Structure 1
Amino acid sequence: MSNNTNGFFDKIDTIKRWVDRVISAVLIFIVGAMTTLVTYQVVVRYLFDSPSAVSEVLSRYGFIWLILIGSAYVFGLREHMAISFVKLKFPEKIQIYLDMFIEFSTAAFALSVMIIGGYSSAARQMWQLDSALQVPMGVIYSAIPISGALIIFYFLYQELNLLRRLKQLQ
């Protein structure tokens, strides 16, 4: 491969590492915040007999964000669950094509359902306020299109790597 192509892939790898670090920091923050909120909820409920609705709702929404953003992060790390028994029976070139198709299928779902549908849903809910937090529900729902956008980013990254592997086989 040419030096110019390697420079391009080095830049893409750097961007992916940066995105991975930011997402992992966000996920660590969410887990820490949820741990604090749930601990606070237990203490005020059982020691002071005064449950906090705000901490309960915040931890619930944090869990939703954790799942959605975390699933995009796991997709980007290629650590998601996969049944590769059949795929491994094929030659390496066919395996790459199958990986590309699987990645494309996931990206199509992320684009159509998570980004387009999630954005539409979040936009429609911007007028409705959460009863405990008094924030628009669209803010909570915005985790869906954000997660979808992250999946699309990781899809593009993986497709470039798969194309690079295909060129190396030729």
Structure 2
Amino acid sequence: MRFLGKLLDRVEQIFVGLALLAITSLLFINVILRYFFSSTLSWAEEASRYGVVWIVFIGASICVCKGSHIVVDALTAKLSARWQRPFALGVTFFSILFCCVFTILSLRLTLRIAEFGQMSTTLGIPMLYVYGAMPVGGALMTLRYAQQAWRLLRGKETLT
């Protein structure tokens, strides 16, 4: 189980890193082409936008794993040590529920987009691939919150 978690960590991080590198390179090349050769890659900005969509949703999963999401801990700080872990567990279960609902609804939307056969304007790719970032990211966040809940239940998760 730990091996799969670490593998998922690496895959997410490599994906986000490579996507960011590709977007940066693509936009840099497009700027060079525009200013020095009076030409552009017509599809570069659209591809970059779609890449950022994927980075955001995969990055959200990474943030769940690392505990990097913004947290308002005013209530948690006021609780006694005895109640902090149960409260954190409740918040984590609520997050799992939210991510499950988000994943299901975004999957429905993605399937509907696929059913209509909507294509991107410049790239000409099915919008299914763009909208697919939502259910994939939602499922990954659900998995990450489930891992966090498991660690909280076992007493392995540190409360900050």
Question: What TM-score does the superposition give when structure 2 sets the normalisation length?
Answer: 0.90
Query: Is 1:29 matched with 2:18?
Result: yes
What's the CA shift for 1:60? 0.7
Query: Is 1:16 matched with 2:5?
Result: yes
Q: Which amino acid aligns with 2:137?
A: S
Q: 1:122 aligns with which of 91, 103, 110?
A: 110
- What residue in structure 2 maps to residue 38 of structure 1? 27
- What residue in structure 2 maps to residue 4 of structure 1? none
- What residue in structure 1 maps to residue 90 of structure 2? 101
What's the CA shift for 1:67? 0.9
1:121–1:138 Cα contact (<8 Å) kept: no
- What residue in structure 2 maps to residue 157 of structure 1? 147
* Structure-2 separation of matches of 1:27 and 1:92: 37
Query: Is 1:144 matched with 2:134?
Result: yes
* Structure-1 separation of matches of 2:143 and 2:37: 47
Query: Is 1:73 matched with 2:62?
Result: yes
* Structure-1 separation of matches of 2:81 and 2:57: 32
Q: Deviations over 1:50-106 (max 9, x none)?
A: 222211111111111111110111011112111213202222331111111211222
Query: Is 1:134 matched with 2:97?
Result: no
Structure 2: 5+ residue runs without aligned partners? none
* Structure-2 separation of matches of 1:49 and 1:94: 64
* Structure-1 separation of matches of 2:6 and 2:81: 26
Q: Which amino acid aligns with 1:48?
A: F
Q: Which amino acid aligns with 1:124?
A: R
* SS, match of residue 53 in structure 1: coil
Q: 2:42 aligns with which of 45, 50, 53?
A: 53
* Structure-1 separation of matches of 2:93 and 2:36: 52
Q: 2:100 aligns with which of 90, 100, 111?
A: 111
* Structure-2 separation of matches of 1:94 and 1:47: 63
Q: Which amino acid aligns with 1:61?
A: Y
The 3 A distance-change label for structure 1 pair 136 and 155 is: same
| Matched residues, number | 154
Question: What TM-score does the superposition give when structure 1 sets the normalisation length?
Answer: 0.85
